[in-house]
Amino acid sequence: MAKEYSLKNIKIDHEYDVHQELALPPVNEFKRFAKVFFRRPIVGVGFAIVVLLLIAGIFADQIAPHDPYLINLFNTFDAPSARYPLGTDAIGRCLLSRIIHGTRLALLTGVSTVFISATIGITIGLVAGFGGRVAQEVVMRLTDAWISIPAIIIMMLLGAVLGRGIGGMTIAIGVTMFPAYIRLVFGQVLTVKQNDYIMASMAMGDSKVRIVLRHVLPNCLAPIIVVMTMMMGGAVMAEAGLSFIGLGMDPPTPAWGTMTNDGRQWLASYPHLSLAPGAAIVLLVFGFNMVGDGIRDALDPKMRGTLN
Amino acid sequence: MMVNFIIRRLINSVFLVLLVSMIVFTLIRMVPGDPLSALVDAEQQRLIEGGGGMDPEQAQQILDDLRAQHGLDLPIPIQYAQWLGNMIQGNFGRSIVRGFDIATEIGRRMPITLYLGLIAFIVTNIFGIFWGVIAAVRNGTVVDNVVSGVAILGMTVPGFLMAVVLMYILSFTMEWLPLHGFNLPWRGDIGVSVRSTVMPVMVMTFGGIAGMSRQCRSSMLEVINADYVRTAWAKGMREKVVIFKHVLKNGLMPIVSMQGGMIAGIVGGSVIVETIFNVPGVGSLVVDSMTQLDYPVIQAVTVMFTFITVMANLVVDLLYGWVDPRIRHS
C-alpha cells in the first residue's frame, strides 16, 4: 500500500511547477463491491445460504432422493432414516424431497415477484415523475388507495382471481408490493430533475425518454437494487403465509407454507413435519435479508473508498 | 389552518375509502366461481344423497332466482351503486352464503380484533422503544448485540411460523397456554381470557418490536452523536436529563411516523393470527368469507379495515405535526 503513495507517483510538472494529483491506482469496482459486501461475516453466511438454496432449487430433480408427490400409505410418519433423511409425512411422502422441491417454488416466487413489482413500480414512478401535475396527482392518489387496503386482502383476492398456482400467486403478491418502488423512483426523479445536467440535456434537445433512460434510471438503480433484494424475503414470507392459511398455492404443490400448515395437525407427536419446512423459510428469508444488507452497504456511496 | 388541514384530509380519506371499495367490489366479482352456485350444488348433492335430485333446468331456475334476489344479475356499476347507497345508510346487508346480518356479526367480532390489536399496539411500542433505546445507549456492548440479533430473528421469522413454534412449546410441551379460541375478559372467565391473549399478542408483536427497535436504535444513535447533545454533555448536565430531554425527544421523532405502517401491519396480521388461533374476530371472518366467496361480507370488512388504516394514518400525521414543530402543515 505504502509503495503506491510514494513520491514515484507524484509527477512534478517543471514548466509550471505544479504538483499533479496523486495518481491512485484504478479501483476495481467489482473487487471493491465484494470487499465491502463480505466485510461482515453474517452477510457471508447469508450469501452462502442463498447460494446453497439456489443450487438445491435448480437441481431439485437430481438432489431430491424421492418423488415429492409419491404417496405411500404403507409408510406414513416414518422416522428420519437413511432412506428418508427427514422421515415421511402423513401420507408417506418424503419430507426432505418436498422441502427441496419447495425451495424451487420459494425462490421462483421471491425472484419473479420482485421483478414484477419493480417493473410496474419503476415504470409508473418514472412516468409520474416526468408527467404533468395531473398524472402525478392521479398516480399518487391511486398509490395511496392501494397502500390503504391491507396487503393480505389484495393478495387473497388477486390470488383467487388469477388462480392458486405459481403464476397467479407471483402476480398477486407482486402487484401488492409495487407502490414501494413508485415512491422511491418518484422521489428520486424529483431530486435528479433538479440537476444541471438534466437542464443541459434538455437544452441539447434530448427527448424525455432519452433523459429518463440515460440520466434518471442509472441514478435510481442503486436504491432500487437494495429494495429489490430486501423485498425478496418479504415476498417469500407473504407467499408462505397465504399458503399457510390455505389461500396460497393449491395442494399437493410442495409449498413450504402449506407443508407447515399440514404438519400442524401432528404438532404434538411429529413436530418436525411442521418445523422443518418452517426452518427452510427462515433460512431463505434470512439469506435474502443479509444479502440485501450487504448490497446496501456495498452500494452506499458513504462506504466508497473507506475500504480500498 | 389546522382545521382546514383536517377537513381536507378527511375529504381525501372518504375518496380513498370509496376508491378502495370500488377496487375490491370489482376484483371480487372477477374471481371465478360464484357463491350461489356453490350453494345450489350443495343442495343438489343433498337431494341426490336422499334419493331425489332436481333436474338441471330446475337447479338453473333456482340459481337465477337466487341471483336476482341478491341483485347479482344486475350490471356491476348498478350493483355497486345499490351497495354504496345501503352502506351510507348504515345497512351492511346480509351474508349471501350464511345469511347472518353483517353489521351485527361485525359488531360482535370487531371488539375482539380491536382489543387484541390495541394490546399488540401498546406492547409493540413499549418493547420496541425500550429495547431500541437500550441498544443505542449501550452501543457496541453485549446488550446491543443481543438486541440486534433478536431483531434480525424477528424480521426473519414469519408470524405463522412463530405461532406454530409457540404452540409447540407453550401449549404442547409446557401445557401452559390454551391452543385455540379467545374471549373478551368481560365476557367470561378473566383468567382464561388473559391466558389465551398471550400467544396471539406475542405473534402479532414480535415482528413489529424487531422493526421498531432497529429503527429506534439507529435514530437514537444519530441523535446521540449530534452536536447539541455533545454540548449538553459538555455543559455538565446529568445523564438522565441529557438522555430524556435531548436524546429521547428528538430520537423518537421517526418512531411517530412509523406508527401508521405498524397499525396497518397489525390490522393485516390479525387475518393470519386469528385464523391460526381460531380467534372469533374480524380477521378470521375475512378468511372464511374468502373461501366461500361471500361478497358482501368481504366488501364490508375490507371497507372497515381500510377505514381504520386511513384514520390511523391521519392521526399519526397530526401527531407528527404536533411533535415536530418543523413540519407544521401548510
pLDDT digits (tens, 9 = 90+) for B105-164: 999 999 999 999 999 999 999 999 999 988 988 888 898 889 888 888 888 898 889 999
Q: Mean pLDDT throughout A149-174? A: 85
Inform me whether the pLDDT recorded for A59 exceeds 60: yes
Contacts of A262 by beta carbon, 8 Å cutoff, 6+ apart: A89, A90, A251, A273, A274
Q: Which chain B residues contact residue A150 at CB under 8 A?
A: 264, 267-268, 271, 302, 305-306, 309
Of B8, B24, B9, B90, the residue nearest B311 (C-alpha): B9
CB B173 within 8 A of CB B85: no
Report CB contact under 8 Å: A153, B152.
no
pLDDT of residue A16 exceeding 60: no
Give residue ranges of A with CB < 8 Å to any B CB: 141-142, 144-154, 156-158, 160-161, 163, 233, 237, 240-241, 244-247, 257, 260-261, 264, 267-268, 271, 274-275, 278, 281-282, 285-286, 289
pLDDT score of A48:
93
Band (A113; pLDDT cuts 50, 70, 90): very high
The pLDDT assigned to A284 comes to: 93
State the SS3 of A204-248: CCCCHHHHHHHHHHHHHHHHHHHHHHHHHHHHHHHHHHHHHCCCC
pLDDT score at B48: 81
Burial bucket for residue A145 (CB in 10 Å: 0-12, 13-18, 19+): buried
Q: What is the mean pLDDT of residues B41-63?
A: 78
Instruction: Calculate the average pLDDT of chain A.
Output: 81
β partners of residue A99? none
Question: With 90 as the cut, is the pLDDT of residue A142 above it?
Answer: no
Interface test with B, best of A138, A140, A152, A261 (most B CBs within 10 A): A152
Task: Please count the residues of chain A.
Answer: 308
Cβ–Cβ below 8 Å for B164 and A160: no
Of B164, B286, B293, the CB nearest to A267: B164
The pLDDT-based confidence of A209 (bands split at 50, 70, 90) is confident
| Residue B1 pLDDT exceeds 80 | no
Q: What pLDDT score does A116 carry? A: 92
Q: How far apart are CA B104 and CA B285, in angstroms?
A: 13
* B160 closest CB neighbour out of A148, A160, A260: A260
Q: Which three cell numbers stand for residue A120?
A: 410496474
Q: What's the half-sphere exposure (Cβ side, CA atoms, 13 Å) at B70?
A: 20
Contacts of residue B293 in chain A, CB cutoff 8 Å? 160
Residue of chain A minimizing CA distance to B17: A145
* Across A69-83, A123-137, A227-241, A281-295, least confident range: A69-83
- pLDDT exceeds 90 at position B256: no
CA distances for A223 relative to A40, A187, A264, A297, B188, angstroms:
20, 11, 39, 11, 52
pLDDT at A212: 81
Does the pLDDT of residue A47 top 90, yes or no? yes
Q: What span, in angstroms and rounded, lies between the C-alpha atoms of B227 and B44?
A: 77
The mean per-residue pLDDT over the stretch B161-172 comes to: 89
State residue B89's pLDDT score. Answer: 86
| Stretch A242-253: mean pLDDT | 84
Q: What is the mean pLDDT of residues B50-63?
A: 78
Nearest CA in chain B to A259: B161
Whether residue B293 contacts residue B28, with contact meaning beta carbons closer than 8 Å, is answered with yes
pLDDT of A1 strictly over 90? no
Q: How far apart are CA A74 and CA A45, in angstroms?
A: 40
- How close does chain A come to B20, measured CA to CA in Å? 6
Residue B175, chain A, CB below 8 Å: the answer is no
Q: What is the C-alpha separation between A150 and A132, in angstroms, rounded?
A: 30
Which pLDDT band holds residue A118 (cuts at 50, 70, 90)? Answer: very high
Percent of chain A with pLDDT over 90: 13
Give the range with max mean pLDDT: A75-79, A92-96, B21-25, B52-56: B21-25
Asked if the model's pLDDT at residue A8 lies above 70, the reply is no
B276, closest residue in chain A (CA to CA): A245
**Phi, psi angle pair for A88, to nearest 5°:** -120, 160
Residue A208: how many CB atoms within 10 A of its CB?
13
The pTM of this model reads 0.84
In angstroms, rounded to a whole number, what is the distance separating the alpha carbons of residues B330 and B199? 44
Question: What's the pLDDT at A308?
Answer: 42
Mean pLDDT value across chain B: 85
Is the CB of residue B23 less than 8 Å away from at least one CB of chain A? yes
Q: How confident is the model at residue A103, as a pLDDT?
A: 92
Residues 109 through 148 of chain B touching chain A, CB cutoff 8 Å: none
In this complex, do A150 and B20 lie within 8 Å of one another by their Cβ atoms? no
- Checking if the pLDDT of A15 tops 70, the result is no
pLDDT score for A45: 92
pLDDT at A20 (0 to 100): 56
* A109/A169 Cα distance (integer angstroms): 8
Residue with the bigger pLDDT between A204 and B34: it is: A204
Which of B11, B23, B31, B160 is the mutation pick for testing A, counting most A CBs within 10 A? B160
A86, pLDDT greater than 90: no
Q: A191 or A306: whose pLDDT is higher?
A: A191
- CB of B295 within 8 A of CB of B29? yes
pLDDT tens digits, B81-105: 888 888 888 888 888 888 888 889 9
Q: Is the pLDDT of residue B297 over 80?
A: yes
Using an 8 Å CB-CB cutoff, list chain A residues near B304. none
Which of the residue ranges A56-60, A82-86, B13-17 would you say has the lowest mean pLDDT? Answer: A82-86
